[in-house]
């Protein structure tokens, strides 16, 4: 289970999550910087994958398809946005 109110301390943007999707390998920093949080624009690089989850803010993104501890990823600056 993950926090559904993650916030990035690097770009100060809310982390969006999309169930049953992964990010295309061609995604890059500029794609997210220019298209977050517009779902209609993000769909261009989303791939349907049952059981996976795609996460993104304006500066970082991850596709997760197995249990993963995101706190071990040093480059991610995602924290709980408080409930």
Structure-block tokens of residue 18: 């999309």
Task: Tell me the whole-structure pTM to 2 decimals.
Answer: 0.85
Confidence of residue 30 (pLDDT cuts 50, 70, 90): very high
Higher-confidence residue: 49 or 77?
49
pLDDT value, residue 3: 73
pLDDT value, residue 75: 76
Measure the CA–CA gap between 44 and 12, rounded to whole angstroms: 24
Eight-class DSSP state of 71: G
Measure the CA–CA gap between 1 and 27, rounded to whole angstroms: 25
pLDDT at 49 > cutoff 80: yes
pLDDT at 1 > cutoff 60: no
- Residues paired with 19 in a beta bridge: 53
**Three-class secondary structure assignment of 6-64:** EEECCCCCECEEEEEEEECCCCCHHHHHHHCCCHHHHHHHEEEEEEEEEEECCCCEEEE
* Mean of per-residue pLDDT scores for the chain: 89
């Amino acid at each position: 289970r993950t926090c559904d109110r993650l916030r990035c301390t690097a770009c100060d943007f809310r982390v969006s999550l999309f169930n049953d999707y992964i990010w295309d390998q061609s995604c890059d920093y500029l794609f997210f910087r220019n298209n977050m949080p517009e779902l209609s624009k993000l769909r261009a690089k989303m791939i349907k994958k049952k059981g996976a989850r795609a996460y993104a803010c304006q500066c970082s993104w991850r596709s997760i398809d197995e249990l993963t501890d995101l706190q071990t990823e040093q480059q991610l600056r995602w924290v709980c946005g408080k409930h």
